[in-house]
Amino acid sequence: MAYIMQPPDELMTGAFLPAMRHLVAVRLRSQGFSQNKISSLLGVTQASVSLYLSSDPAKAYRVLSRFSISRVQADRDSAFLADAIRVGPVEGLKALGGIWTGLLGAGAVCPAHRGMYPALADCEYCVEEYGRHRGAMSETVTEVAEAVRLLEESPDFAAVMPEVSVNIACAAGDATTPGDVVAIPGRIVKVRDRAKAMLPPEPGSSAHMSRMLLLTRSRRPELRACINLRYDRAVAALLSRYGLRTLTLGRHAGEGAVDPTAEALERRLKSYAPSFDALVDEGGSGIEPNVYLFGKGAKEVVRLALRLARAHSAA
């Protein structure tokens, strides 16, 4: 009974969080942020940031390895967090919470926790409490992988791929954070006139697509997936031909915004916005026009995208 006051949160605040802050600070510095700005984004003192930047990141990687986090995964998570906190403190908190609860649910924190408190050797609380989502997550990863395979097999899809490449995002269960959304790390790129995913789908892999999907789900929770395509006159005509309801954001400035398209969508949703099946981003300075298709599943939005691609190629 003495151990009921020794939760795994101690490991979060004492080990995981400082190590992740270290890697995020290094990443933000590499992106040109000053120490003052980094300290503001991380919510720590400038002295702490200075210490992070002057220390060897190898220590942070060693700490994170206690939670079965590889160096590759640590880099990916820290990049995801850096993007999230640039959007705002709430997004950063959601991203951090999603990563940590994912570790709890997977049992990755258990060895370190039991090492501290041997009496908890038989404890399965975190796996039972936070791992309930894992079945849905595994199914969603498989669903996105199958959807990607359909894109990669298509001889027509490259015709509607934008210069910024493509990604698919799909919500697992009652997704509320970016960590609950499966996407493709590094996006889907064009290789010899065919689509090719750079890596297999993973949860929390695209801050932008996750945000676009979660914002849309706040209005239409039945929509679980989205995909982005190029937007031109031919695509606009096809959207109309197939009777897709569109919401147009209009041209907007990208300067000074972390995610200008998501921020424009958020502003629009706070005002009046009709129900829509596709979101048209007309772009702006440094922003390529794109259209985002939404549906109830990854394969549903991919089949719609392929239908548009075939018609686009035949035009």
Over range 55-60, report the average pLDDT: 96
Torsion angle defined by CA atoms of residues 214, 219, 222 and 228, in that order, rounded to the nearest 10 degrees: -50
**Residue found by looking up tokens 């969603």 in the block:** 140
Read off the pTM. Answer: 0.71
| Sign of the torsion angle spanned by Cα atoms 111, 117, 118, 119 | negative
124, amino acid identity: E
pLDDT, residue 129, reads 79
**Residue found by looking up tokens 């801050």 in the block:** 207
- CB-CB contact of 254 with 284 (8 Å): yes
pLDDT, residue 1, reads 45
| Dist. CA 188–CA 191, nearest whole Å | 9
The predicted-structure confidence for 69-78, as pLDDT tens digits, reads as follows 999 889 988 9
- Indicate the domain borders of the chain: 2-123, 133-314
The predicted-structure confidence for 125-174, as pLDDT tens digits, reads as follows 888 877 766 678 889 999 999 999 999 999 999 999 999 999 999 999 88
CATH fold of 133-314 reads L-fuculose-1-phosphate Aldolase (3.40.225)
Least confident of 21-35, 49-63, 82-96, 206-220: 82-96
- CB-CB contact of 126 with 110 (8 Å): yes
| pLDDT above 90: percentage of residues in the chain | 60
Asked if pLDDT for residue 255 goes beyond 60, the answer is no
The predicted-structure confidence for 10-34, as pLDDT tens digits, reads as follows 999 999 999 999 999 999 999 999 9
